[in-house]
Amino acid sequence: MMAGSLKLVTLIETHAEAIAEQWVKDVKKNARTPSYHSLSDETLLTMAVRFYDNFSQMFYTEKPAEISRPYFYQYAEEHFRHNIPLSESLYALILMRRHIWLYAEFQTIFISAVEQKQAVDSLVRTILMFDYAIIFISQRYEELIRGEIERKMGRLRRIFSEGKWGQKMREHRTIIATSLTFLMIILTTYTHTVLKSDIVFTHLYYIPIILGAIWWKRAGIYISVILSLYLIISHLLFLPSVPLINDVIRSLIIVTISLVLTWLGRGLVAAEEILKRSTTKGG
């Protein structure tokens, strides 16, 4: 096996850039790797040459998993930074392997029957290495995706799910939401009865509405309905001479925003569940 393997490895080390150039041309036009099409040739060439330069070290080691893991983690991180989906990054890796053998076949380095047998042995070893690559790249992508989700959702989770302040709010959420709702009712009554005005103050309604949507999801819509109905009733009772249309529009907007927040809140919960399952499996 060593003679045939040595030929293959020597070919890759000697012609790394030439093989890489063929790979770049392939991923730049391949329909299965559209994310690579916008990257510069220089960026892609560097990716491929780095892989082929590390090939012999990964190929000959007795511990391919230990040796290859850091490189393939780096491969995953680099592709993740370029916003390349996992499926495309793995297919690009398959193309890297394909171009090794296409170039070897073009150079006809395996001629005799013995060498062809050695070529098969080399292929088996190469496939093993790429099997590790798929495992490690997938693992690293999962870690990076989980980290990205954690960063983007972290602030909301700290406020409403975790932390002492967020936990205290959740423990007293009924009291908080009820108090805020009554405060909005009192403010509405004061504005209509004392100020005799329908001035726009209803943006304050969004405080209990947002909290209700986050804490109770669909049930939180009741807060927006209660406030909207009271806004219209109060207007009819205390401002009969003022056109009702403005408060009707405000009420519809309030309920609509509450529905949207509820829908977004359910999506947040679903994302949280996916993240938890992913973290549990990853751990």
Same domain? For 30 and 130 the reply is yes
Residues 9, 137, single domain; the answer is yes
| pLDDT per residue as tens, the chain (283 positions) | 444 455 666 777 778 888 899 999 999 999 999 999 999 999 999 988 888 877 767 766 677 777 788 888 988 999 999 999 999 999 998 888 888 877 765 455 444 444 544 554 555 566 667 777 888 888 888 888 878 777 766 655 555 554 455 566 667 888 989 999 999 999 999 999 988 887 767 788 999 998 888 788 788 899 999 999 999 999 999 999 888 998 999 999 999 999 888 887 776 666 666 656 655 554 4
Q: State residue 77's pLDDT score.
A: 92
Residues 59 and 184 occupy one common structural domain:
no
At residue 187, the pLDDT reads 92
CA–CA distance, 46 with 16 (Å, rounded to integer): 11
Residues 25 and 125 in one domain: yes
Please provide residue 13's backbone torsions phi and psi, each rounded to the nearest 5 degrees: -65, -40
Would residue 252 count as lying in a domain? yes
Torsion of CA 155, 161, 165, 171, to 10 degrees: 160
Whether residue 146 is found in the same domain as residue 220? no
Q: Which pLDDT value is given to residue 131?
A: 77
Q: 147 is in which domain, residue-wise?
A: 2-152
Q: What is the pLDDT of residue 1?
A: 42
Q: Residue 147 corresponds to which amino acid?
A: G
Q: Is 72 exposed, middle or buried (0-12, 13-18, 19+ CB in 10 A)?
A: buried
47 within some domain: yes
Q: Please answer whether residues 133 and 74 qualify as being in contact, where contact means their C-beta atoms are separated by less than 8 angstroms.
A: no
In this prediction, residue 280 carries a pLDDT of 52
Domain shared by 47 and 12, yes or no: yes
Rounded distance, CA 119 to CA 3, Å? 9
Q: Are residues 10 and 119 in the same domain?
A: yes
* Of the residues 120, 152, 184, the one at which a domain ends: 152
pLDDT of residue 272: 63
